[in-house]
Amino acid sequence: MIEIPVSDKLILKQLQPADAPHVYQQLDISRKQLRRFLPWVDYNTNEEHSLRFIEMMMRKTEEQEALALGIWYENKFCGVIDLHNWDHLVQKAEIGYWVGAAFQGKGIATAASKALISYAFQRLHIHKIEIRFVLQNEQSGRIPIKLGFCREGVLRDSAKLHGQFVDMVVMGILKEDWHF
C-alpha cells in the first residue's frame, strides 16, 4: 500500500476496500458542493458505488494506469486525489482531486497535489502532469496556479455537466519546471 506523508496533519494513503464507507460518507455530506463541477457525484449514490470505484482504481494501479489515494487530515478522511490517464509512452498523467466541504479552504487540496506531483515525478518517472477542470471552477483552478502550472488551453465543449456541454481548462507542468 502506498502512503505519502505530507505534513504532521496530512497523509495520503492508497484507497482500500475498507475505505468505501469513508469515501461515500464524505461525498454524501458534501454532495451539494461537489456536484456543481463533478458530474460523477450524481452516480455515486451508495457505499457500493464507492467500493466499485476503489476496486477499479486498485486494478488500474496494478496495471500502472492510475493511482487513487485517500486524503486524511488530522486522522479524518476528507477527500480523494488520484493520478489517471497515465500514458507510459509519453510519460504523462493527469491528477484530479476533491475535498469534502468541511475541509475546504485549509490548503489541503494544494498540499495533497504538491505531494502527489512530487511522488509522480520522483518515483513514477512521469515527465508531465496535467490538471483539467471546468472553466467556471475558479476554486479548483487556483490550485495549479499556486503550484506553478502553465495554462495550456481551453477545450471547448469537452465535457458534459448535468446535461450541458462545458469548457475544460488544461494546465500542465513539466518535471524540469517543478521546483517544490
Q: Which residues of the chain have pLDDT under 50?
A: none
| pLDDT at residue number 10 | 98
Residue 170 CA to residue 16 CA, distance in Å, equals 30
* Type and span of the H or E element at 171: strand 164-174
| pLDDT at residue number 179 | 87
Residue 137 CA to residue 32 CA, distance in Å, equals 14
Share of the chain above pLDDT 90, in %: 94
Cell of 29: 455530506
172 closest CA partner among 147, 146, 152, 143: 152
| pLDDT at residue number 75 | 95
| pLDDT at residue number 180 | 78
What 3-state DSSP class applies to 71?
strand
pLDDT digits (tens, 9 = 90+) for 124-173: 999 999 999 999 999 889 999 999 999 999 999 999 999 999 999 999 99
Number of helical H runs and strand E runs in the chain: 5, 8
**Rounded to 5 degrees, what angle do the CA atoms 72, 43, 68 make?**
35
CA dihedral of 77, 69, 136, 154, whole degrees rounded to 10? 170
Beta bridge pairs of residue 11: 5, 72
Domains of the chain with bracketed CATH? 3-126 (3.40.630.30)
Q: Say what the pTM is.
A: 0.94
